[in-house]
Structure 1
């Protein structure tokens, strides 16, 4: 798999689902000399430190790929619908991207057009994948459009009177703007291109640490710690309680100076840390599984839950907060069996639990393979069902969606998502703009039912 971003069209886009188990072939256990086994860094500390550090390395991996492709600081890049190459992009929106640098003497002006009746947001994330701010009519109801100055907290910068200032605790941020495509894609793209940004001065630009740029299906071993000091020093982790995990990382950097210990740490990573990470992915860390659907406990802003943060950075980088969206992953049917694209399934929402009732803006469901987190190619180039699909409702007001290699006889054409036979897959259900945040936290989608 190429590590460079691929210019994909909607018909060819490979979109992943929220998060998935790591698919690593773990090495066969071998015995180690007793002297090595007496090392001071425990297997558990190695696993913890590795998973913690991996969260930062995943962001640095994407940052290096972005700049190799030609992105530059404080310059917004507008992507064609579907033309993004990171885990779990959303096919319902047009994305624009940027890396922003600010300092004590320079802010970055972000211009947001006036948008009505269509979901949009400008999301700012730090180098750990933590959401710091969103610009939209929900966060700035009094002035949701116009010029916004993104500044380093405490910076002394003179700004025009009509600019809304946003102070962030970071010198460098990742920006992701989303505009709902809706029924009129041309209008959405026209709005997308009205977003812009510019620096007010000449900020000091960082030197991006040269950390491993790895294939997501082949995570690094002990070599992850070779650039660990630079990775941590380049981006403070402002979340509480992270000092202990950083201390473990520093201890490992010192320990692997010994060749014997380096070999042991690499073995523990591949046997223990990979397995711990894969096991945690089944529930997205401390998340829950109900009716066969997995929902994360946190999203976008993680506090001391670095495990969930790393899982999201791996399987769905640039995830937003629950204030913006709710995500559900369906990997099994109502009987607990993994979804298989050779079979046919249905998902029925009763009249009083229709997906539109959960989202102020839009909802969607798509099918992705369980290994590479990619949509399932099919002759129809139909990759998702959403509120823009030509859906038909039952006589009782319910909505039934179908997933399978062939359209069931009873299924309306617009209610069917093709799943070419031959692989396990998962469904990703999204709700953008929860109508009731408290109710959204308790919501559980209906079970997926196997029909054949």
Structure 2
């Protein structure tokens, strides 16, 4: 059972069963729908603990703990998107920060070179296949118009996600419109007005959205072409559209004033602020009701004194466990396949899978829809053992295992350290390997990729993915950009071979 559930979900399911058995939780309720027993109106000072049996007190604390963990998981992406927003709010010009992707709000930041091990401060797991562009938009005042050029000779996609990192419908990509030039008005949830005739519209469900164009790049010699494409992408405030696309830099929105919380419940107070600015969707009604039981409610200040002392204790215990929770999320991202790869079959459309959504916010910031790009990642070999560069490994693909692609699609296998998800230095500066490399295939059409610290020898070096030096844990990620129809389905992904440890 634990093999097929991520650790956090497994623990919560165990807790649910125990609570049902103890008569504390009804068997017909979901974990989000606890009885309304935690809210207790009190005076302005903390009340003394009521005289209740020890088992009841433990039950109240445990229920609040479980609900608080769920609230943390639900809202975690908001803290990540807030981090990205604040970084951009604090700067006034492109390039003012250490990260070239961090531009002022409503402006693009562009990577102008391929990411290497020398770049260590990216908020995402980098890839060496595309040159990133990125923007955080604040749509609270007016729409922002995105314009992109024709990009027909290579894979191209524009991902747009809301503040919860749920993807909005794709309008611009090699898959959806062939990469043709587009003009797209990105509109906030409450804006009412008229757009210029013929302009495409994308209605966002939060006022904060993140925009992530990805353009395939082959190597450094290919960069000038990609940089030219980047220079022809623009973001323009609707009020300035008549002056021409990109002719005027959007004015930054008003600075958001944030209370400086300093008490032990500060995290929950900030959670309420973020939920107020980014109201949950109708589909999240059960989660909203559960958080309400703890006094976490959009538009209403959080007051822990309205809660039973045992409920407060449970909420504080959840905060104490936050590092362990996020570490579990980091390690157990996605659904595990029989060969010990992990994948998110829903891609960037999470629905009610809040754990999967939090996993992506922590590890990758944003994930493409599975039809746009499919990802498999693993920390372990085909026997479930943590991969370490003290050992040698091989990924053997039969001809039928090699990913199938749409026009301009590609695939690659990328090496990361196991904890920061960044590149590790290696003697040939190779961080990924894939179908655009000069790979050597076996006579039967199969392919072997050698994953190890030392070179497998000149004859096999074309198929070598270097592992970190010095006996370090690592993880690998397989990216399939532009998967062929059906390639992203679990029935296909579940048969992808595992990585095998081999003798040196």
**Interval containing the TM-score (normalised by the shorter chain):** 0.7 to 0.9
Alignment partner, residue 56 of structure 1: 78
Q: Give distance in 1, aligned partners of 2:366 and 2:355.
A: 15
Alignment partner, residue 74 of structure 1: 106
Q: Is the 8 A contact 2:411 2:479 kept in 1?
A: yes
Alignment partner, residue 134 of structure 2: 97
Q: Give distance in 1, aligned partners of 2:128 and 2:305.
A: 43
Q: Is the 8 A contact 2:157 2:179 kept in 1?
A: no
Distance 1:308 1:77, change over 3 A: same
Q: Is the 8 A contact 2:486 2:492 kept in 1?
A: no
Which of the numbers 369, 373, 377 marks the counterpart of 2:425?
Answer: 377
Structure 1 window deviating more from structure 2 (149-158 vs 51-60): it is: 149-158
**TM-score, normalization by structure 1:** 0.81
Alignment partner, residue 26 of structure 1: none
Establish whether residue 237 from structure 1 lines up as the match of residue 280 from structure 2.
Answer: yes
Task: Quote how far apart the aligned CAs of 1:256 are.
Answer: 6.5
Which of the numbers 115, 124, 128 marks the counterpart of 2:151?
Answer: 115
Task: Quote how far apart the aligned CAs of 1:360 are.
Answer: 5.4
Q: Is the 8 A contact 1:102 1:172 kept in 2?
A: yes
Establish whether residue 288 from structure 1 lines up as the match of residue 336 from structure 2.
Answer: yes
Task: Quote how far apart the aligned CAs of 1:426 are.
Answer: 0.9
Distance 1:51 1:169, change over 3 A: closer
Establish whether residue 164 from structure 1 lines up as the match of residue 200 from structure 2.
Answer: yes
Which of the numbers 228, 231, 250 marks the counterpart of 2:271?
Answer: 228
Which of the numbers 243, 267, 270 marks the counterpart of 2:320?
Answer: 270
Q: Give distance in 2, aligned partners of 1:407 and 1:135.
A: 43
Alignment partner, residue 486 of structure 2: 437
1:26-425 equivalences in 2 (<5 Å): 37=58, 42-70=64-92, 71-81=103-113, 82=115, 85-102=122-139, 106-137=142-173, 140-141=176-177, 144-152=180-188, 155-183=191-219, 184-201=222-239, 205=253, 208=256, 210=258, 222-238=265-281, 240-241=283-284, 242-248=287-293, 250-251=295-296, 253-255=302-304, 265-271=315-321, 274-279=323-328, 281-284=330-333, 287-357=335-405, 361-409=409-457, 412-419=460-467, 420-425=469-474
Q: Give distance in 2, aligned partners of 1:209 and 1:412.
A: 58
Does 1 or 2 have the higher relative contact order (CA < 8 Å, sep 6+)? Answer: 1
Q: Is the 8 A contact 2:89 2:255 kept in 1?
A: no
Alignment partner, residue 448 of structure 1: 499
Distance 1:54 1:162, change over 3 A: closer
Distance 1:405 1:141, change over 3 A: closer
Task: Quote how far apart the aligned CAs of 1:204 are.
Answer: 9.5
SS in 2 for 1:355: coil
Task: Quote how far apart the aligned CAs of 1:209 are.
Answer: 6.5
Q: Is the 8 A contact 1:256 1:265 kept in 2?
A: no
Q: Is the 8 A contact 2:411 2:481 kept in 1?
A: yes
Distance 1:330 1:265, change over 3 A: same
Structure 1 window deviating more from structure 2 (139-148 vs 396-405): it is: 139-148
Q: Give distance in 1, aligned partners of 2:492 and 2:136.
A: 35
Q: Give distance in 2, aligned partners of 1:409 and 1:370.
A: 26
Task: Quote how far apart the aligned CAs of 1:170 are.
Answer: 3.0
Q: Give distance in 2, aligned partners of 1:212 and 1:434.
A: 46
Q: Give distance in 1, aligned partners of 2:139 and 2:374.
A: 31
Q: Deviations over 1:290-319 (max 9, x none)?
A: 212111242211111111111110011021
Task: Quote how far apart the aligned CAs of 1:403 are.
Answer: 0.9
Q: Is the 8 A contact 1:326 1:430 kept in 2?
A: yes
Q: Give distance in 2, aligned partners of 1:385 and 1:142.
A: 26
Task: Quote how far apart the aligned CAs of 1:110 are.
Answer: 1.0
Please, which runs of 5 or more residues in structure 1 have no aligned partner? 1-19, 23-32, 214-219
Structure 1 window deviating more from structure 2 (69-78 vs 201-210): it is: 201-210
Q: Deviations over 1:316-345 (max 9, x none)?
A: 102121121111112211222210111111
Q: Is the 8 A contact 2:397 2:447 kept in 1?
A: yes
User: Once superposed, what is the RMSD of the aligned Cα atoms?
Assistant: 3.4
Structure of larger gyration radius: 2
